[in-house]
Amino acid sequence: MLTSESQFCCDAFDSCPERTTKEKSRSLSNMGNGSVKPKHSKNPDGHSGNLTTSALRSKVTELERELRRKDAEIQEREYHLKELREQLSKQTVAIAELTEELQNKCIQLNKLQDVVHMQGGSPPQASPDKVPLEVHRKTSGLVSLHSRRGAKAGVSAEPTTRTYDLNKPPEFSFEKARVRKDSR
Protein backbone atom coordinates (compact mmCIF):
# COMPACT_ATOMS: atom_id res chain seq x y z
CA MET A 1 0.00 0.00 0.00
CA LEU A 2 0.98 3.55 -0.58
CA THR A 3 1.88 5.75 2.30
CA SER A 4 0.49 9.21 2.54
CA GLU A 5 3.90 10.69 1.79
CA SER A 6 4.42 8.63 -1.38
CA GLN A 7 0.84 9.30 -2.39
CA PHE A 8 1.46 13.01 -2.05
CA CYS A 9 4.58 12.66 -4.15
CA CYS A 10 2.60 10.82 -6.83
CA ASP A 11 -0.26 13.33 -6.73
CA ALA A 12 2.10 16.22 -7.32
CA PHE A 13 4.11 14.29 -9.92
CA ASP A 14 5.42 17.27 -11.87
CA SER A 15 6.66 19.12 -8.82
CA CYS A 16 8.14 16.14 -6.97
CA PRO A 17 11.77 16.99 -6.06
CA GLU A 18 12.84 13.34 -5.91
CA ARG A 19 11.57 12.64 -9.42
CA THR A 20 13.18 15.69 -11.03
CA THR A 21 16.56 14.97 -9.41
CA LYS A 22 16.50 11.32 -10.52
CA GLU A 23 15.37 12.21 -14.06
CA LYS A 24 18.08 14.85 -14.49
CA SER A 25 20.81 12.47 -13.44
CA ARG A 26 19.34 9.73 -15.63
CA SER A 27 18.99 11.99 -18.70
CA LEU A 28 22.60 13.15 -18.54
CA SER A 29 24.24 9.80 -18.04
CA ASN A 30 21.89 7.01 -19.13
CA MET A 31 19.85 8.43 -21.95
CA GLY A 32 18.48 5.54 -23.96
CA ASN A 33 20.95 2.66 -23.64
CA GLY A 34 23.50 4.70 -21.71
CA SER A 35 25.91 5.13 -24.62
CA VAL A 36 25.28 8.84 -25.19
CA LYS A 37 28.27 11.03 -24.46
CA PRO A 38 28.27 14.81 -24.30
CA LYS A 39 29.36 16.48 -27.53
CA HIS A 40 32.47 18.63 -27.52
CA SER A 41 32.98 21.34 -30.08
CA LYS A 42 36.13 21.04 -32.15
CA ASN A 43 38.41 23.61 -33.69
CA PRO A 44 39.26 23.28 -37.39
CA ASP A 45 42.59 21.77 -36.33
CA GLY A 46 40.78 18.91 -34.55
CA HIS A 47 41.43 19.89 -30.92
CA SER A 48 38.44 20.06 -28.65
CA GLY A 49 37.55 23.30 -26.93
CA ASN A 50 35.77 26.52 -27.67
CA LEU A 51 36.27 28.12 -31.08
CA THR A 52 37.92 31.50 -30.93
CA THR A 53 36.60 34.47 -32.83
CA SER A 54 39.71 34.64 -34.99
CA ALA A 55 39.27 31.01 -36.01
CA LEU A 56 35.64 31.67 -36.84
CA ARG A 57 36.57 34.76 -38.88
CA SER A 58 39.19 32.85 -40.83
CA LYS A 59 36.69 30.08 -41.51
CA VAL A 60 34.09 32.63 -42.70
CA THR A 61 36.61 34.34 -45.02
CA GLU A 62 37.67 30.95 -46.39
CA LEU A 63 34.04 30.02 -47.08
CA GLU A 64 33.39 33.42 -48.70
CA ARG A 65 36.44 32.95 -50.93
CA GLU A 66 35.22 29.50 -51.96
CA LEU A 67 31.73 30.90 -52.63
CA ARG A 68 33.15 33.65 -54.89
CA ARG A 69 35.25 31.08 -56.77
CA LYS A 70 32.25 28.81 -57.32
CA ASP A 71 30.10 31.76 -58.42
CA ALA A 72 32.77 32.70 -60.97
CA GLU A 73 32.85 29.11 -62.26
CA ILE A 74 29.07 29.06 -62.60
CA GLN A 75 29.06 32.38 -64.48
CA GLU A 76 31.80 31.10 -66.80
CA ARG A 77 29.87 27.90 -67.51
CA GLU A 78 26.65 29.84 -68.15
CA TYR A 79 28.49 32.13 -70.58
CA HIS A 80 30.00 29.12 -72.37
CA LEU A 81 26.57 27.46 -72.52
CA LYS A 82 25.09 30.64 -73.99
CA GLU A 83 27.81 30.72 -76.67
CA LEU A 84 27.18 27.06 -77.53
CA ARG A 85 23.44 27.68 -77.85
CA GLU A 86 24.06 30.62 -80.18
CA GLN A 87 26.45 28.53 -82.26
CA LEU A 88 23.91 25.70 -82.44
CA SER A 89 21.15 28.04 -83.59
CA LYS A 90 23.44 29.50 -86.29
CA GLN A 91 24.37 26.02 -87.47
CA THR A 92 20.73 24.95 -87.52
CA VAL A 93 19.85 27.94 -89.70
CA ALA A 94 22.79 27.17 -92.01
CA ILE A 95 21.72 23.52 -92.31
CA ALA A 96 18.17 24.56 -93.15
CA GLU A 97 19.43 26.94 -95.85
CA LEU A 98 21.74 24.30 -97.31
CA THR A 99 18.92 21.74 -97.27
CA GLU A 100 16.63 24.06 -99.17
CA GLU A 101 19.40 24.88 -101.65
CA LEU A 102 20.17 21.18 -102.14
CA GLN A 103 16.51 20.38 -102.77
CA ASN A 104 16.35 23.17 -105.37
CA LYS A 105 19.49 21.81 -107.05
CA CYS A 106 17.94 18.32 -107.13
CA ILE A 107 14.82 19.69 -108.79
CA GLN A 108 16.97 21.49 -111.37
CA LEU A 109 18.97 18.32 -111.97
CA ASN A 110 15.80 16.29 -112.48
CA LYS A 111 14.54 18.87 -114.98
CA LEU A 112 17.84 18.73 -116.86
CA GLN A 113 17.73 14.93 -116.92
CA ASP A 114 14.19 15.06 -118.31
CA VAL A 115 15.34 17.45 -121.05
CA VAL A 116 18.30 15.21 -121.91
CA HIS A 117 16.05 12.14 -122.08
CA MET A 118 13.51 14.00 -124.22
CA GLN A 119 16.20 15.06 -126.68
CA GLY A 120 17.61 11.53 -126.74
CA GLY A 121 14.20 10.13 -127.71
CA SER A 122 13.46 8.14 -124.58
CA PRO A 123 10.48 9.04 -122.35
CA PRO A 124 11.11 11.02 -119.17
CA GLN A 125 11.69 8.84 -116.16
CA ALA A 126 11.15 11.25 -113.29
CA SER A 127 8.91 14.22 -112.89
CA PRO A 128 10.62 17.55 -112.17
CA ASP A 129 9.08 17.85 -108.71
CA LYS A 130 10.25 14.46 -107.48
CA VAL A 131 13.42 14.46 -105.44
CA PRO A 132 15.34 11.18 -105.07
CA LEU A 133 14.70 9.24 -101.87
CA GLU A 134 18.35 9.44 -100.80
CA VAL A 135 18.28 13.24 -101.00
CA HIS A 136 15.11 13.38 -98.88
CA ARG A 137 16.62 11.07 -96.30
CA LYS A 138 19.85 13.07 -96.09
CA THR A 139 18.23 16.48 -96.05
CA SER A 140 15.26 15.86 -93.78
CA GLY A 141 16.63 16.96 -90.43
CA LEU A 142 19.85 15.68 -89.00
CA VAL A 143 20.99 12.22 -90.02
CA SER A 144 20.02 9.62 -87.45
CA LEU A 145 22.78 8.24 -85.29
CA HIS A 146 21.49 4.72 -85.81
CA SER A 147 21.52 4.72 -89.59
CA ARG A 148 24.54 3.33 -91.37
CA ARG A 149 26.27 5.57 -93.85
CA GLY A 150 25.48 4.56 -97.41
CA ALA A 151 23.31 1.63 -96.34
CA LYS A 152 20.30 0.61 -98.36
CA ALA A 153 16.97 0.04 -96.67
CA GLY A 154 16.36 -3.63 -95.89
CA VAL A 155 19.98 -4.69 -96.36
CA SER A 156 21.67 -6.35 -93.42
CA ALA A 157 24.98 -5.01 -92.19
CA GLU A 158 26.28 -8.52 -91.63
CA PRO A 159 27.69 -10.36 -94.64
CA THR A 160 26.21 -13.75 -95.39
CA THR A 161 28.33 -16.82 -96.03
CA ARG A 162 26.78 -17.58 -99.40
CA THR A 163 27.71 -14.18 -100.88
CA TYR A 164 30.86 -13.37 -98.93
CA ASP A 165 33.70 -15.67 -97.97
CA LEU A 166 37.20 -14.48 -97.05
CA ASN A 167 38.91 -17.61 -98.38
CA LYS A 168 37.73 -17.32 -101.97
CA PRO A 169 37.18 -14.35 -104.27
CA PRO A 170 33.62 -13.17 -104.87
CA GLU A 171 31.81 -14.98 -107.66
CA PHE A 172 29.67 -13.30 -110.29
CA SER A 173 26.61 -15.00 -111.66
CA PHE A 174 24.47 -13.80 -114.57
CA GLU A 175 21.46 -15.52 -113.03
CA LYS A 176 21.75 -13.59 -109.78
CA ALA A 177 22.68 -10.28 -111.39
CA ARG A 178 19.96 -7.66 -111.60
CA VAL A 179 19.88 -5.16 -114.40
CA ARG A 180 17.77 -2.03 -114.15
CA LYS A 181 15.44 -1.38 -117.06
CA ASP A 182 16.50 2.23 -117.52
CA SER A 183 20.24 1.47 -117.68
CA ARG A 184 21.97 1.55 -121.07
184 residues of the chain, pLDDT tens digit each: 445 444 445 555 555 555 555 555 555 544 556 666 656 555 555 554 567 999 999 999 999 999 999 999 999 999 999 999 999 999 999 999 999 999 999 999 999 999 998 887 655 455 545 555 555 555 555 444 445 555 556 665 555 555 555 566 666 566 666 666 665 5
Pure H helices in 121-143? 133-139
Residue 118 CB contacts under 8 Å (≥ 6 apart), including other chains: 124
Helix (H) / strand (E) element for 8: namely: helix 4-11
Q: Which amino acid is at 96?
A: A
DSSP assignment of 43-111, as one string? -TTS-BSPPPHHHHHHHHHHHHHHHHHHHHHHHHHHHHHHHHHHHHHHHHHHHHHHHHHHHHHHHHHHH
- pTM here? 0.35
Distance CA 132, CA 129 (A): 10
Q: Residue 127: which of 137, 117, 138, 139 has the closest Cα?
A: 117
Q: Residue 182: which of 116, 135, 107, 102 has the closest Cα?
A: 116
Residue 13 has a pLDDT of: 53
Q: Residue 17: which of 25, 9, 28 has the closest Cα?
A: 9
3 state SS of 163: coil
Residues in the chain: 184
Residue 128 has a pLDDT of: 47
